[in-house]
Amino acid sequence: MLDLTQLNAKDIALALKEAKLTKDEVSSFFKKRIDEFNPSLNSLIEVFKEPDKGEGSSALASLGIAIKDNICIKGRKITCASKILSSHRAVYEATVISKLKQAGLEIAARANMDEFAFGSSTETSCYGPTKNPWDLERVVGGSSGGSAAAVSARLLPFALGSDTGGSIRQPASLCGVVGFKPTYGRVSRYGLIAFGSSLDQIGPITTSFIDCAHLLNIICGHDAKDSTSAKIDTPDFSKSLNCDCSQIKIGLPKEYFAKGLEPEVKTAIEGVKSYFANKKIKFIEISLPHTEYAVATYYIIGSSEASSNLQRFDGIRYGLRSGCSNLEELYTKTRSQGFGPEAKRRIFLGTYSLSSGYYDAYYVQALKVRRLIKEDFDSAFKEVDAILTPTSPSTAFKIGEKTNDPLSMYLSDIYTISVNLAGLPAVSFPCGFSKNNLPIGAQLIGKAFDEETLIKLGSCFEEGSDYHKQIPPLVVNKKNSHE
């Protein structure tokens, strides 16, 4: 019996090209897994009966990909997992989707997420939470939780997510897969429904660095349709796989190993360090002194941008429209009924920080601190080539555990947020398991536009470990979690 869970996407695509596998065999293998496991995971919110076929050849051609439901696939529904957009269809194609099609990939499914990407657990979705394939009582992380869970459970070989404050890396960490957030500007945001326009980036979620490098090759590149997209060439990231790393210097920021870090996570990161040390890689203790302000800074800037970006969902142009007798009531009713509690919290927080009288004290102040956080990284990168940290302070928490405590939810992004504020590339990759068999992720942060060093290091770690090859112990259960 064919078992594609043991192969990475690039090898499956190669086997197809060499006619060692047929297209039908591959499609039915993944279809069967989706039928068996998606009902209990709730990771894919729509699997296309007729996937959008791509034309073109690339190392990953012919394979199906899941797309987070905030990236526009022309003609398909796009909801951001929000009631307010529940009937909306994309009228244009995101640049990344065009690129995937040009590379011959198939757009196969829409993945669950936190509403408008607000969250760290995928519990705020209007479709109900996604369950962690490693333990169905636990969260998958968020906000790209559907993408991470689907890849972890091998329902598809890979997925796209988006990362504003950790939304690719944190769920990747909690699900035991590789999640890469490219440098701000590396991937076009055209067709990504904006949360925080100065922070958002689209990136791949895969089972290995090999697939990650190939997917980055496809989605990166300048795009005239996104004014923040960088005019910089895309290297062939696959050339960074399995290179010599002995000259690389890695920084360990002392602020990331302080209180609040679960001992099991700390031990796993120490394991990564020893592995690299054996490869003659040098470690230097560094300091990122403004780390303690990152969460507060991010929640002011992110929510301010979100409150402004979400103004367009007013009942006139998109999705839901609630019955009313005048214009003001139309806005109020539509937005009150259409947005969930976390989206409303962000809109309130952002509107408050931007309002006259508070603008200087909150928003402008946060921009100044953002600059200091970026300067911390600039100084660190004078000494080191990459930075190693945990991705998340803990393994996956229980569903419902933090829903009534937004602050504790926000603090779960403590290690991922600064990267977005500074616009840097970073990746989370599997580096261990807790004693109750939950995945642990390590994060590598790079200099702007130096994704290559992260791929070098990550693939070097992968060569000597098999954490990324572990498959969650799923049992068939036909009952859908939120029915």
Burial of 118-151, coded b for 16+ CB within 10 Å and e otherwise, reads bbbbbbbbbbbbbbbbbbbebbbbbbbbbbbbbb
Q: Taking the complex as a whole, how short is the minimal distance between the CB of residue 83 and ligand GLN, in angstroms? A: 18
How far is it, in rounded angstroms, from Cα 136 to Cα 43? 12
| Closest to ligand GLN by CB, 166 or 390 | 166
DSSP letter at 56 equals: S
Asked if residues 69 and 97 have their Cβ atoms less than 8 Å apart, the reply is: no
Binding-site ranges for ligand GLN (CB under 6 A): 117-120, 143, 163-167, 195, 302, 413
How far is it, in rounded angstroms, from Cα 147 to Cα 158? 8
How far is it, in rounded angstroms, from Cα 417 to Cα 425? 12
In the block, residue with structure tokens 């945990």: 390
Residue 131 tokens, joined: 């369950």
> Phi, psi (5° rounding) for residue 160?
-110, 145
Q: Taking the complex as a whole, how short is the minimal distance between the CB of residue 11 and ligand GLN, in angstroms? A: 30
Asked if residues 373 and 423 have their Cβ atoms less than 8 Å apart, the reply is: no
List beta partners, residue 444.
388, 427
| Closest to ligand GLN by CB, 238 or 443 | 443
| Closest to ligand GLN by CB, 384 or 409 | 409
Could you tell me if residue 170 is left (phi over 0), alpha (psi between -120 and 50 degrees) or otherwise beta? alpha
User: Taking CB positions, which residue lies at the least distance from ligand GLN?
Assistant: 167
Asked if residues 54 and 100 have their Cβ atoms less than 8 Å apart, the reply is: yes
List beta partners, residue 236.
none
Residues designated as active site:
68, 143, 167
| Closest to ligand GLN by CB, 34 or 419 | 419
SS3 178: strand
Asked if residues 431 and 461 have their Cβ atoms less than 8 Å apart, the reply is: yes
Residue 432 tokens, joined: 């261990």
| Closest to ligand GLN by CB, 172 or 281 | 172
How far is it, in rounded angstroms, from Cα 78 to Cα 248? 42
- H helical segments located in 3-144: 9-17, 23-41, 95-102
| Closest to ligand GLN by CB, 166 or 446 | 166
| Closest to ligand GLN by CB, 96 or 103 | 96
How far is it, in rounded angstroms, from Cα 182 to Cα 204? 9
Q: Taking the complex as a whole, how short is the minimal distance between the CB of residue 147 and ligand GLN, in angstroms? A: 12
Beta-carbon contacts of residue 320 (< 8 Å; ≥ 6 apart): 83, 84, 85, 86, 87, 334, 337, 338
How far is it, in rounded angstroms, from Cα 270 to Cα 273? 5
